[in-house]
Amino acid sequence: MEAHSSSPLLLSRKRRREGSNGETEEGERPGKVPRCTVGLKHPAPFADELEPADDKPYLRVSMDEAKRGTPPDRPVRVYADGIFDVFHSGHARALMQAKGLFPNTHLIVGVCSDDLTHKYKGFTVMNEDERYDAVSHCRYVDEVVRNAPWTLTPEFLAKHRIDFVAHDDIPYSSAGSDDVYKHIKEAGMFAPTQRTEGISTSDIITRIVRDYDVYVRRNLQRGYTAKELNVSFINEKKYHLQERVDKVKRKVRDVEEKSKEFVQKVEEKSIDLIQKWEEKSREFIGNFLQMFGPEGALKHMLKEGKGRMLQAISPRQSPNSSPTREERSPSPTFRLPFFTKTSPPPSPPPHHSAARGYPISEDDDEDDED
């Protein structure tokens, strides 16, 4: 039940594929799922190494019975076959869908041999033993049939007690037939699955062939010899030369990136220095003009000093008319510091004696007083 119920969530897992224009397309990614540990510790067994089935007669279950669910001791036996060369996620997703077709599913996977594959489809990258082993280690597989037939016969279906055959519903023309699954579909034993677009063995091989030089150089770097890679002596030297040239290019690119970073840092610092220098120069020019400019402080100082010097060296101009005796201010009386007696009041103007008719001197007056 768990495999069947969880299959829609697993089928919607995000998938990246390369479109025809080289851009990557993305599918939907489901929400978070709870953590769990699947207790798979061993690969799936091969059918020819299992014990023979019981003697009960082979009776298929119908589609309705399979969807409703079968008893634990009677799982629905689903068969899926293929080449499975260069086993990839597209193969795993197809097997996952086959495993999740019904609540109780026993998945049997048939892998064709090298002889049949080379005859009907072409050469493979992996040999049959490698392909058998790769499929047996897929978590969805319960049983592996080696040397599977190209066309399914009733005898093969009965021998392995197969209830349904899982494959994508695109007609598969091969071995002189328009669809090798046509008789399976007519018998009502076909269970369709969906192909995973953008990934296939042919696509992977196409990538390798398209970038052949890249992968040859890659393996030469990892120690493979030119003989192992089927590369001529001249091509080997060419690839080694290309690798050296690429190393030089990478070094030059690294130096260019580092030099760009250094130049960028120098430019940033130079811009800061230029800005600071401009600010300081503006400040210096402003202070200079404020001191030595046409209306600067130095000019005012010189004018003021010149005026004071002219005022000091030029004579004082006399007034137009001299003041009269009465307008002049009286000169101050000079007194010596050792005289404490006050000066006598000014003497009255001299007077003439009426009798004698000559003036009386001050001495005479003093004598009279004596």
Predicted pLDDT at 339: 46
Per the domain annotation, does 98 fall within a domain? Answer: yes
Same domain, 194 and 216: no
Q: Are residues 151 and 97 in the same domain?
A: yes
347 domain residue, yes or no: no
Q: What is the pLDDT of residue 95?
A: 96
Residue 18 lies in a domain: no
Query: In sequence order, which ranges of the chain are alpha helices (DSSP H)?
Result: 2-11, 63-68, 89-99, 114-120, 128-136, 154-159, 182-186, 201-210, 212-221, 233-292, 297-313, 362-369
Q: Given this model, what pLDDT does residue 36 score? A: 62
- Please give the single-letter amino acid code of residue 127: N
Instruction: Name the domain count of the chain.
Output: 2
Domain assignment present for residue 160? The answer is: yes
CATH number assigned to the domain comprising residue 120: 3.40.50.620
Please check whether residues 70 and 159 belong to one and the same domain.
yes
Half-sphere exposure of 170 (CA within 13 A, CB side): 5
Low-confidence ranges of the chain (pLDDT < 50): 1-15, 17, 20-22, 24, 334, 336-341, 351-370
Q: Let me know whether 68 and 187 are in one domain.
A: yes
Q: Looking at 199, 226, 251, which one is the last position of a domain?
A: 199
Residue linked to tokens 């969880």: 6
Same domain, 272 and 149: no
Write down the pLDDT at residue 1: 38
Model confidence over 255-300: pLDDT tens digits?
888 888 888 888 888 888 888 888 888 888 878 877 777 777 777 7
- Strands of 45-127 (E only): list them: 76-82, 105-111
pLDDT value, residue 40:
76
94 and 128 share a domain? yes
357 belongs to a structural domain: no
Range of the domain at 256: 202-296
Cβ proximity of 106 and 75 under 8 Å: yes
- Whether residue 338 is contained in a domain is answered as no
At 235 the pLDDT is 85
pLDDT on residue 9: 43
Identify the pLDDT of residue 333.
52
Same domain membership, residue 209 and residue 162: no
Chosen domain end from 296, 313, 336: 296
222 and 239 both lie in a single domain: yes
User: Considering the domain boundaries, does residue 263 fall inside one?
Assistant: yes
Examine the domain organization and report whether 242 and 277 are in the same domain.
yes
Asked whether residue 254 is assigned to any structural domain, the reply reads yes
For residue 242, the model assigns a pLDDT of: 83
Q: Supply the pLDDT for residue 11.
A: 45
* Domain final residue, candidates 296, 325, 343: 296
Closest listed residue to residue 43, CA positions, set 137, 117, 156 = 137
Structure tokens at 117: 């594959």
Cα 242 off chain centre by: 31
Residues 159, 274, single domain; the answer is: no
pLDDT in the model for residue 265: 83
Q: Are residues 243 and 116 in the same domain?
A: no
Q: Which residues contact 156 (CB under 8 A, 6 or more apart)?
A: 149, 162
Q: Are 205 and 86 in contact (CB under 8 A)?
A: yes
Residues 188 and 229 in one domain: no
